[in-house]
Amino acid sequence: MNEDSIKARLLATTALASNYCLTLENAREMEKDEFVKEMLSLLPAIYLDFSSIDVEDLPEQSEFEYFASYVDEDFYESVRRNVETLMGPDDVFLETFEEDMKYSDTPIGSSVAECLADIFQPLCNYISVVRDSDGESAPAAFRECRENFEGYWSQTLCNVVRALNHIRYSPS
């Protein structure tokens, strides 16, 4: 992949991540059906972008870059609470991929709001680094976000899509 193509892919991924973050930040101003539909549009696209961009195609890093977190606990909790309020009783879903589920006789619940906030945190950090560096740190920031995707939030994304799909398409 040539450098211009890589830059265009990273720009599109950054725009997608930004749209996701803005949607979560503005969740309290949306109707639940509209929010669920928007999440079911954004989340698969985010998954596809973060799983299909090959980090080997990105420009080499000359040195390790450390990026501070832009999402503090209060910001995270604000986003989580707004989504939790919007989702109401639909916020809780049964989690079948929870490691503790193997050893439990009782179902383990998970929260749509917490899952979406867990995805929000690395994406918000990613877009903030890109914005603050005028795009110069986009490849390194993407690498870091991709590592977090592979290690943690890809499974969270898949799980919450399943729950949101159930909310949208299950008979009332």
Q: Supply the CATH number for residue 17's domain.
A: 1.20.120.1550
From first to last of the 172 residues of the chain, give the pLDDT tens digit: 677 888 899 999 999 999 999 999 999 999 999 999 999 999 999 999 999 998 888 887 656 577 889 999 999 999 999 999 999 999 999 876 555 555 556 667 899 999 999 999 999 999 999 999 998 899 999 999 999 999 999 999 999 999 999 999 987 6
The rounded distance, in Å, linking the Cα atoms of 100 and 121 is: 24
Enter the tokens of residue 55: 């980090």
The count of other CB atoms within 10 Å of the CB of residue 6 is: 18
Structural domains counted in the chain: 1
User: Angle between the 138-148 and 3-25 helix axes, to the nearest 10 degrees?
Assistant: 60
CB 158 within 8 A of CB 47: yes
The rounded distance, in Å, linking the Cα atoms of 139 and 67 is: 12
pTM confidence score = 0.90
Domain holding 63, by residue range, is: 3-169
